[in-house]
Amino acid sequence: MLGVKNIFPNKNKKEVVGWLFASPWLIGLMAFYIYPLLSSIFYSFTTFNGITVEKFNGIQNYIDLIHNDVFWLSMKNTFIYTIIVVPASLFLGILLAIILNVKTEGRGIYRIIAFIPTLAPVVAVSIVWQWLLNSQFGLVNYILYKVGLPGPPWFGSELWSKPSVALISLWTIGTTVLIYLAGLNDIPKNYYEAATIDGAGVIRKVLHITLPLLTPVIFFNIIMGIIRAVQEFTLPFVITNGMGTPANSMLFYSMLLYKNAFQYFKMGEANAMAWIMFVIIMALTLIVQYTSKKWVHYMGE
């Protein structure tokens, strides 16, 4: 006890020791989060090539983006992709979670099978599906041909390109399903028992018990799904070799940001695009947050 008193004779020294222990984390926070954040804001108002700041140009980068047709095309592509993949992942994720939550023999194996695709690197997944969905030599179109169905052009068509990327994204839905499973296991069993006594069938239980009590998890997954979709980069980049073809139909917002930064060396414009993306994600999140008051239900309310 005497040794402890000598080390910490008063409250001020305890605070100093506490700050010393926290200092590595604080230094890391300043160096890798705060400084990049503030510098990105500054560079978005400059003509910056990645090495030197040529001049401070105010909001000119933002004005140039607004008058750039390719910028709006990337916004359109990303918006369409988000509209496709977020509802699809919502429906498919809930459906798979409900199926995998049924008590059957081998249920653990089925859950593992559903989760395994998420363990594969995104680049590897992109390359494999690029071959599977090849319009001429792909396995998927070969199977469709064998059953008498016409195989779509997939990545070779403006109409099919974004649904094709969405399809690949849905293949790696295991993490979302896992979150839904956790939400399902959190629903009290006595609700279902009471519904069974009242004569409710499976469909009514799902509609009146499962889905309402799963809405907090649905709300979380919608937010995360929007953030992932708006920032989608690796899949279209690898599939198109960074070109965004055909006819820029797979030129997503993050890909154009990458091109501005590391191909055209317009770092100032790229930083401006990053902050526009932040504003878009924040606005969409606030909209979902506002509407959640009407459809998200918590147990005990």
pLDDT at 300: 61
**Secondary structure (DSSP) of 50-94:** SS-EEEE-TTHHHHHHHT-HHHHHHHHHHHHHHHHHHHHHHHHHH
Low-confidence ranges of the chain (pLDDT < 50): 1-4
pLDDT at 238: 94
pLDDT at 4: 47
**Secondary structure (DSSP) of 193-240:** HHHHHTT--HHHHIIIIIHHHHHHHHHHHHHHHHHHHHT--HHHHHHT
Question: Which tokens hold the place of 242?
Answer: 């960074």
Is domain 64-295 annotated with CATH 1.10.3720.10?
Answer: yes
pLDDT one-digit tens code per residue, 33-61: 999 999 999 999 999 998 899 899 999 99
pLDDT at 245: 86
pTM, 2 dp:
0.90
DSSP β-bridge partners for residue 28: none
pLDDT at 251: 95
CATH 1.10.3720.10 domain extents, the chain: 64-295
pLDDT at 65: 96
Indicate the burial class of 281 (C-beta count within 10 angstroms; 0-12, 13-18, 19 or more): middle
Cα end-to-end span (Å), the chain:
50
